[in-house]
Amino acid sequence: MLYDAYEVQRSLLAGASKLAGFGAGWLTNPANPWGYSSMGPLVAASLEVFAHATAPHGKPEFGIEKAHVGRKDVPVHEEILLRKPFGQLKHFYREGVDKGPRLLIVAPMSGHYATLLRGTVERLLPSMDVYITDWRDAKLVPLSDGSFDLDDYIDYLIEFLELIGKKTGERPHLLAVCQPSVPAFAATALMNEDRNPWRPKTLTMMGGPIDTRQAPTAVNTLATQRPFAWFEQNVIATVPMIYPGAGRKVYPGFLQLAGFMTMNLGSHLISHWEMFKHLVVGDEESAHATQQFYDEYRSVCDMTAEFYLQTVDVVFQQHHLPKGELEHRGRLVRPDAIRDTALLAIEGERDDISGLGQTRAALDIATRLPKDKKHYLTARDVGHYGIFNGRKWREKIAPVMEKFVAAND
């Protein structure tokens, strides 16, 4: 019923958004005399903010058309190397350029699309051959394609790394942003133990919940204060009949978005108020920057119930990885098996999702990895989103990662 009610509301708001957008356009038309009245700009700005806030959002495009490599701009093309039911391996092919470390970026499966890392990809393309996990919206995956849980996630990463290695003849590097730090670490440990020829040369983890007992945040507290059954009963919904994945149990993206929005509700309200003021005075450029961010932020997708619930249980409630109890298909994941994959842990000083120390814990549990292959960075005055996007990512954090990868390539 929850998902059905949401779809009814979404349909109604979509219609209202179209009408509001039409009204805003009518009021701002130079040929309309009402637009020159004292109330015209105020009403038009109000309608435009409402239209933007209630508009439906689909899957965004990366839209990366070029990269500055060396002294020239080269065209960039997206190519799909492997399609699987719940995700695909995407490659950003730089035309005429086949150099630089091979890097697989693991995008979080946490309600947003991989395009949330557009800024991450853009910054690294000039120096690296970049691949990314492009996860699929679970509501679009038919039930006939089976299930997807944390074990499947680890399998996907291993398969993607092996494909990149066989394609290029080089061991790739691995970058996990936030939530995938746990499965990426597990895949790295398993591949090291097996002496897999395509095990990653390096693993960089950004704001990842390796050990959420360290400096717990509001997100961690929510997961531990409620019993596992509460999550099963309150946040899991059934995909309606209008989608290909009808009948699948999922954690809806709209619920995750609502949770993130309410965590920082004041900031989001201020952002929309600022956007309103920019529109009133005709500063469309400043308003557009806010609109672009929220277009991406509100583009959400569902994740399978089995993956979400297993993550809540294993990562946030039981802390299996730092306790040495994580299993992959019945096989113990041994952090001390990591012998020659260099590790870099990056944390944001003001991260309100993954607290300081949670990602650094990965360096402590890899007990048999030499100290000179363990590196750590605290990004000063940086929140969760700023670790992998924005000016400080581009100017302060990315250079550290590039130097780390180059030193271990």
Would you say residue 185 lies in a domain? yes
Q: 52 or 119: whose pLDDT is higher?
A: 119
Instruction: Confirm if 43 and 27 have CB atoms less than 8 A apart.
Output: yes
Task: Using the structure block, give the residue that is written with the tokens 């903010």.
Answer: 49
Same domain, 50 and 135: no
The count of other CB atoms within 10 Å of the CB of residue 389 is 21
Same domain, 87 and 217: yes
What are the C-alpha distances in Å from 291 to residues 52, 95, 296, 304, 337?
A: 7, 31, 9, 29, 46
Same domain, 202 and 99: yes
Would you say residue 283 lies in a domain? yes
Would you say residue 333 lies in a domain? yes
pLDDT at 62 over 80: yes
Estimate the share of the chain in helix, then strand, then coil, as percent rounded to the nearest 5: 45, 20, 35
Same domain, 273 and 212: no
- pLDDT, tens digit (0-9, with 9 covering 90-100), for 320-374: 999 999 999 999 999 999 999 999 999 999 988 899 999 999 999 999 999 999 9
Same domain, 286 and 342: no
- Give me the CATH number covering residue 319: 3.40.50.1820
Token couple for 400: 């550290």
Same domain, 197 and 335: yes
Would you say residue 241 lies in a domain? no
Would you say residue 232 lies in a domain? no
- Report the amino acid identity of residue 293: F
- pLDDT, tens digit (0-9, with 9 covering 90-100), for 206-257: 999 999 999 888 778 877 888 888 888 888 989 988 899 999 999 888 777 6
pLDDT at 26 over 70: no
Instruction: Confirm if 275 and 49 have CB atoms less than 8 A apart.
Output: yes
Return d(Cα 343, Cα 366) in angstroms, integer.
9
Same domain, 115 and 174: yes
Q: Determine the 3-state secondary structure of 94 from DSSP.
A: strand
Same domain, 173 and 39: no
Would you say residue 42 lies in a domain? yes
Q: 110 or 24: whose pLDDT is higher?
A: 110
Domain count, the chain: 2
- pLDDT, tens digit (0-9, with 9 covering 90-100), for 247-286: 999 988 877 765 554 544 445 344 433 443 433 445 455 5
Residue 113's pLDDT is 87
Phi-psi region of 15 (alpha: psi -120 to 50; beta: other; left: phi over 0): alpha
Last residue within a domain, chosen from 235, 263, 297: 297
Last residue within a domain, chosen from 241, 273, 297: 297
Residue 37's pLDDT is 47
Residue 44 burial class via C-beta count within 10 angstroms: exposed 0-12, middle 13-18, buried 19 and up? buried
For the four alpha carbons of 237, 217, 312 and 293, in that order, the dihedral sign comes to positive
Residue 293's pLDDT is 57
pTM of the full predicted structure?
0.82
Last residue within a domain, chosen from 265, 297, 329: 297
Return d(Cα 371, Cα 236) in angstroms, integer.
43
Instruction: Confirm if 103 and 129 have CB atoms less than 8 A apart.
Output: yes
Mean of pLDDT over the chain: 83
Using only C-alpha atoms, what is the Rg of the chain? 22
Same domain, 113 and 164: yes
Same domain, 156 and 178: yes
Would you say residue 390 lies in a domain? yes
Same domain, 260 and 339: no
Q: Determine the 3-state secondary structure of 174 from DSSP.
A: strand
Would you say residue 262 lies in a domain? yes
Same domain, 345 and 365: yes
Return d(Cα 132, Cα 156) in angstroms, integer.
12
Residue 216's pLDDT is 85
* Domain around 258: 2-56+253-297
Confidence of residue 110 (pLDDT cuts 50, 70, 90): confident
Token couple for 181: 């730090």
Residue 219's pLDDT is 77
